[in-house]
């Protein structure tokens, strides 16, 4: 059934985003309650009442998204929830409920799954999220976690990726590349441990980077701040696959170009240090690393005065016309096309 054929297309050749485009092409909305379907961080549904319902789902697969050699189960449960809450925050909305489904191999004891759920419940308690259901089944290939999140917002508050306009400011909400720096450190020590188990890793001074990788926080606080400042972004996304991939999503769906300035991209000093140790330019961490779960959005320039004195908001560029394309303006004042080289679940990202 799956034999090699001359016309066979490998999924790894397409990559995740092209695969999604192809398999969702031609999907038609059948229900009047579906206001917005495939194509953003969450779908939007309209039932009775003024508020709309948002729905998103994510998979975390052992060996692809996480390694239990260095990821504590409690942290994994917490992160699995945050990944989903971030998708709702990326629509300028508030999450309300989740369902959790697990595929579990016989390697795991009840106590191990209980530890995973402690992290899930901690994340729910922190953000007042209700865990309302899910499913469990067996697995022959380790642990698989699937979480579906529901959220809500008034229709006029919901922000999609397709609303950026020329001259809009591009804003992010914190330093970038730190989660990837943490991942590199963990992977390096994992490989050392495999060869010499008696050598214990020393992460002194890198605690912040490890926390950004192992226990990230969804930026729901930003959604509240934007509400308090009376700002509705023109477009919005979360930075899960790297700044480069995310700004390209906004440019593609909004049919615009952009200039992002290297000198404006926030990178933590310890992330810079790790980049130097690995002989990688730190801007590569920010553009291509992924898993930062900061928000990336655009605003009308008239809203700049509302955010200029708040360190939560960092302006890193502006929207240009579509013909300009998406460009990184380097510290040497050179324009380099931005390409999507961030996390792709169907390619080797190490």
Write the CB contacts of 72 (distance below 8 Å, at least 6 apart in sequence). Answer: 115, 214
Q: What is the pLDDT of residue 19?
A: 62
Q: What is the pLDDT of residue 343?
A: 47
Q: What is the pLDDT of residue 15?
A: 66
Q: What is the pLDDT of residue 350?
A: 45
Q: What is the pLDDT of residue 136?
A: 85
pLDDT digits (tens, 9 = 90+) for 172-216: 999 999 999 999 999 998 888 778 887 788 899 999 999 999 999
Q: What is the pLDDT of residue 196?
A: 85
Q: What is the pLDDT of residue 2?
A: 52
pTM score: 0.85
Which segments of the chain have a pLDDT < 70? 1-6, 11-12, 14-20, 22-43, 47, 341-350
Domains along the sequence of the chain with CATH: 31-157 (3.30.1330.10), 169-337 (3.90.650.10)
Mean pLDDT, rounded, of the chain:
89
Could you list the beta-strand ranges (E) of the chain.
Answer: 34-36, 43-45, 52-61, 94-104, 130-138, 144-153, 169-172, 235-238, 257-261, 295-299, 314-320, 326-329, 335-337
pLDDT digits (tens, 9 = 90+) for 267-315: 999 999 999 999 999 999 999 999 999 999 999 999 999 999 999 999 9
Q: What is the pLDDT of residue 42?
A: 63
């Amino acid at each position: 059934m799956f034999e090699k054929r001359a016309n066979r297309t490998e999924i790894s050749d397409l990559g995740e985003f092209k695969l999604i485009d192809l398999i969702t092409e031609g999907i038609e909305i059948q229900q009047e309650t579906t206001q917005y379907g495939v194509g953003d961080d969450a779908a939007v549904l309209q039932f009775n009442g003024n508020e709309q319902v948002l729905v998103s789902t994510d998979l975390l697969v052992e060996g692809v998204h996480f390694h239990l050699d260095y990821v504590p189960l409690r942290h994994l449960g917490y992160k699995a929830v945050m990944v989903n809450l971030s998708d709702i925050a990326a629509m300028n909305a508030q999450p309300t409920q989740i369902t959790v489904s697990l595929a579990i191999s016989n390697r795991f004891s009840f106590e191990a799954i209980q530890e995973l759920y402690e992290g899930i419940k901690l994340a729910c308690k922190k953000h007042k999220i209700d865990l309302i259901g899910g499913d469990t089944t067996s697995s022959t290939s380790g642990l698989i976690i699937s979480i579906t999140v529901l959220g809500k917002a008034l229709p006029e508050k919901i922000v999609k990726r397709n609303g950026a306009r020329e001259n809009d400011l591009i804003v992010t909400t914190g330093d970038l590349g730190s989660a990837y720096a943490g991942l590199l450190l963990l992977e390096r020590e994992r490989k050392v441990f495999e060869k010499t188990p008696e050598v214990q890793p020393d992460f002194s001074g890198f605690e912040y980077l490890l926390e950004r990788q192992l226990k990230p926080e969804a930026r729901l606080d930003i959604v509240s701040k934007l509400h308090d400042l009376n700002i509705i972004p023109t477009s919005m996304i979360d930075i899960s696959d790297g700044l480069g991939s995310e700004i390209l999503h906004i440019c593609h769906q909004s049919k615009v170009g952009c200039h992002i300035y290297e000198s404006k991209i926030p990178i933590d000093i310890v992330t810079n240090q790790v980049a130097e140790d690995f002989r990688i330019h730190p801007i590569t961490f920010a553009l291509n690393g992924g898993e930062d779960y900061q928000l990336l959005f655009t605003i009308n320039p008239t809203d700049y005065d509302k955010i200029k004195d708040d360190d939560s908001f960092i302006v890193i560029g502006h929207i240009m016309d579509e013909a300009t394309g998406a460009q990184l303006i380097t510290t040497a004042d050179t324009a380099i096309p931005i390409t999507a080289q961030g996390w792709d679940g169907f390619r080797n990202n190490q």
